[in-house]
Amino acid sequence: MITSFLLALREGLEAALVIGIVLGAIHRTGRPGLNRWLWAGVVSAAFISLVSALLLRAVDTELVGVTEQIFEGTTFLLAAGVLTWMIFWMRRESSSMRAKLENNVSIAARIDGGGALYFLAFISVLREGIELALYMTAASLTLSGIQTILGTALGLSAACFLGYLIYSTSIKLNLQRFFQVTGLILILFAAGLIGHSVAEFNEAGIIPAIISPIWNINPLLSDSSLVGSIFSTLFGYHGNPSLTEALGYGAYALITLFIFIKAKSYHTSTFIPHASAISPSPVDTGSAPDGQASSPVVHPIRKVNDAQHT
């Protein structure tokens, strides 16, 4: 339930922030009639996202044996890929998201584009909804249906509440910090999805286990224990993994965390050029001390050309 709550909270808050930014931009245009186009786009996107989640779950329940293992392994892998893309995309766009959305709303208001505003809201919310549907499908493969539904409902409710507070009050949320912290947690969750994916492909015979298990620490922390099940759901913990499962998990986690932290240090660093790089040379500008006339600059090439003409 914690996994579905965290994913729903993040995706729901992203959608709520988009809606709040667009509502604020519409309010500043003095065109409240455009709100109906916004909400029409939101409802349409939410409906399609819900249908997508139900279809994905229905497909999984109809499959058995190797086909089911391949479907679940592919779902885990696809969810991990989309989650990774979303983490880095939001990290890059969070600082400029408000300005871009407000500019699009301003353009739509000037051209009386209710359809354009509907499309803007529809695409923005649908992206988050489809991602959440995919994540919830992957999470439901390791959780019970009740836990998935309850965690998703609580996460979306909390996201709506936070979005309302941010929009209607003076509360300011440090989006960059929020996405940094949740990004680190979700990278570990995505690593767990990679581990689950490799385990399913091991069972299907597509990826060889090589050594299975490579270790067994279930006597210390069993997958079926309360703590073990929480770690398994959140971070893909497996007390007796195969060699390829452990390698897939470790390689993804280390590489992705390194890139994520490296990108953070790159964006937070400030480059200050040397004074000689930004200060013009007196010889190049012909500048002279205060109170004296500037002498003309004679470049070597021009001097040679002048000598040839004379």
- State the Cα–Cα distance between residues 152 and 24, nearest whole angstrom: 27
Q: Is the pLDDT of residue 166 over 80?
A: no
Q: Is the pLDDT of residue 135 over 50?
A: yes
- State the Cα–Cα distance between residues 165 and 170, nearest whole angstrom: 8
Q: What is the rounded average pLDDT for all residues in the chain?
A: 79
Tell me: the pLDDT tens digits for 240-256?
999 999 999 999 999 99
Q: Is the pLDDT of residue 154 over 60?
A: yes
The CA radius of gyration of the chain, in Å to the nearest whole number, is 28
* Residue type at position 111: I
Taking CA atoms, 55 is separated from 39, 60, 144, 169, 261, in Å, by 24, 9, 17, 38, 36
Question: How much is the pLDDT for 172?
Answer: 67
Q: Is the CB of residue 42 less than 8 Å from the CB of residue 14?
A: no
Q: Is the pLDDT of residue 304 over 60?
A: no
- State the Cα–Cα distance between residues 64 and 62, nearest whole angstrom: 7
* Residue type at position 207: I
Judged by average pLDDT, the poorest of 9-23, 74-88, 162-176, 282-296 is 282-296
- State the Cα–Cα distance between residues 100 and 98, nearest whole angstrom: 6
**Confidence band for 307, pLDDT divided at 50, 70 and 90:** very low
Question: How much is the pLDDT for 295?
Answer: 45
Both tokens of 154, joined, read 């609580």
Tell me: the pLDDT tens digits for 87-118?
888 777 766 777 887 887 887 777 766 788 88
